[in-house]
Chains A and B, each alone.
Chain A
Amino acid sequence: MNRRTLLGGLFAAASVPALAACSSGITSLDGEGGASGGGGSSKDGVTIGTANFTENQVLGFLYAAVLEAAGVQTKVRPNLGTREILIPALRGGDIGLLPEYQGALLHYIDPKAEATEEGEMQNALAMSLPVGLQVLPYGMAEDSDAFAVTRETADRYGLATLADLRKQNGRLVIGAAPEVKKREVGVVGLKDVYGVEFKEFKSLDSSGPLVKGALKKGDVDVANLFTTDTDIQANRWVVLTDPKNLIPGQHVVPLIADRKADSTVRKALAQLGNVLTTADLTELNRKVDKDKKDPEDVANAYAKEKGLTR
């Protein structure tokens, strides 16, 4: 859920295995990693890496489930860390496939990229990805930044889109992670694109207990959350729409090594992408985070229920 939390990234980078790998300059994750991830084609199997948060792991296991059903051998390496670890591992051949998010990946590869619309971003990714890597067609599910208000706030001020916030300039308090104060997808962009000015910025966390607690209690009026956060539905919070495309799309997109991207793999992942919705993904996250289920079981059960596997 905290896909772009920089704090999370820093802490993960400081965790012991990651540190050991960095400091010794070892790019291989294990001795035989190259064999499974770096082989000639998907016939040799595909190693799927995932980042250090629930949703990405669920996606990794979903990829594994549909690929296995298509006859491709897979191995999932969950919880490897952040992009700073995963992308080099993919380039080095230790992993072959990685569930990614359009906007966040594009920004990582090219910090100056301006595309925010899905199609444009797909093109921009195709142009800027390093040689040997490609993105497959993006899926329906999306985990993007969202600005949400409570149902009561939405009714009282007549809020439906980010543009509506302007009518209440100087009256509303926004709660978000500290970095959002200086981000384009944050206070800066809301002012530049929508002319919105807040009464105050409360520096809290990324879609975590603090910002959600503050929104619930009415200590903040607007909260920066992620669209797949299960508490949005549970509390009937209203996500303000973004008619001017300030927030880059964050559709789930498979990032894959060229040599693994054969037609079997493409077809299986495209099929999953067309079935898995944002609501589905939110529900899968809830099962892991709130019901404490195993991400692999949750992914397998979903794939079976949707007829993606037998």
Chain B
Amino acid sequence: MYELFKNLGDWLVSGEQWTGPDGIGHRLAEHLQYSLLATLVAAAIALPLGLLIGHTGRGAFLAINLASFGRALPTVGLVVLVFLASGLSMWPVYVALVALAVPAIVTNTYAGMNAVDPDVKDAARGQGMRWHQVLFQVELPLALPLIMTGLRLALIQVVATATIAAYVSFGGLGRYVFDGLAQRDLVQVLGGAVLVAVVAVVLDLALSGLQRVLFRHRPA
């Protein structure tokens, strides 16, 4: 065990491991690209949906159940399914990652909107605010902490799962995990896994820091 961790340390710090097309630098950039793009696309789909459901209160039952269904989808199965339909392309990876991220964002956005005190909304309307003013000036600011939690959750899940890109021949940090398993190179597997975990934690901390800076004038 000690040997393994020592080798892992050597693997992580050696110079040649960080450069070149199979180097950690390049794989890290790929991993970030897959994760951030997938999360952005998922947010573009899920945020408006969650806000709409939360604001109108309609379709909540359907949307939440669909989201739960989405969460239960086995990601690898989805990748293989899309792969068989689309062939060798990035589609399987992005479809699976977006499908993974959407539920977390929708449900949290809805929960945030739903938790806004109805009296506050009534008061806003009573003052003559239009629906969009109520949505953007009252509900959205109050729901933001929960919405941000949804985004952070989604991003962590996506970063951890973006390893599957390697399963369908692409790059990212999953390359080390899949190649290491195939070549019985445990140090490589462990190295890849540790890097993925570090990326997830760092991104989550960055987002929570951003959240704090943006909303420091209000109690969270």
Q: Mark A201-222, 1 if CB is under 8 A from B, else 0.
A: 0111100011001100111100
How many Å lie between the Cα of A172 and that of B169 in the bound state? 16
Q: Are A213 and B84 in contact (CB under 8 A)?
A: yes
Q: Mark B157-173, 1 if CB is under 8 A from A, else 0.
A: 00000000011110000
Q: Which residues of A contact B23 (CB under 8 A)?
A: none
What total of A-B pairs shows CB separation below 8 Å?
49
Q: Are A178 and B178 in contact (CB under 8 A)?
A: yes
CB distance from B129 to the nearest CB of A (A): 54
Q: Are B179 and A202 in contact (CB under 8 A)?
A: no
Q: Which residues of A contact B181 (CB under 8 A)?
A: 6-7, 10, 178
Q: Are A178 and B182 in contact (CB under 8 A)?
A: yes
Are A6 and B88 CB-contacts (below 8 A) given A204-B169, A209-B80, A210-B83? no
Interface size (A, Cβ < 8 Å)? 21
Name the one of B83, B166, B167, B175 contacting A213, with C-beta atoms under 8 angstroms: B83
Excluding A10-B184, A210-B168, 16 further A-B contacts by CB distance (< 8 Å) are A6-B181, A6-B182, A175-B88, A178-B182, A179-B179, A181-B179, A202-B169, A203-B166, A204-B168, A205-B167, A209-B80, A209-B83, A210-B80, A210-B167, A214-B87, A219-B88
Q: Is A182 an interface position by the 8 A CB rule?
A: yes
How many Å lie between the Cα of A217 and that of B166 in the bound state? 19
Interface residues of A (CB under 8 A from B): 6-7, 10, 175, 177-179, 181-182, 202-205, 209-210, 213-214, 217-220
How many Å lie between the Cα of A209 and that of B82 in the bound state? 12
Q: Are A217 and B179 in contact (CB under 8 A)?
A: no
Q: Is B183 an interface position by the 8 A CB rule?
A: yes
A-B contact pairs, 16 of them (CB 8 A): A6-B181, A175-B88, A178-B183, A181-B179, A202-B169, A203-B166, A203-B169, A203-B175, A203-B178, A204-B169, A209-B83, A209-B84, A210-B83, A214-B87, A214-B88, A220-B88
Q: Are B80 and A203 in contact (CB under 8 A)?
A: no
Are A178 and B179 CB-contacts (below 8 A) given A203-B166, A204-B169, A219-B88? yes
Identity of the chain A residue whose Cβ is nearest the Cβ of B171 in the assembled complex = A203
Q: Within residues 64 to 88 of chain B, which ones have a CB less than 8 A from any CB in chain A? A: 80, 83-84, 87-88
How many Å lie between the Cα of A203 and that of B84 in the bound state? 16
How many Å lie between the Cα of A10 and that of B169 in the bound state? 20
CB distance from A224 to the nearest CB of B (A): 12
CB distance from A220 to the nearest CB of B (A): 7
Q: Which residues of B contact A175 (CB under 8 A)?
A: 88, 169
Q: Which 7 A-B pairs have the closest CB atoms?
A: A219-B88, A179-B182, A178-B182, A217-B87, A202-B169, A203-B169, A178-B179
Q: Mark B115-144, 1 if CB is under 8 A from A, else 0.
A: 000000000000000000000000000000
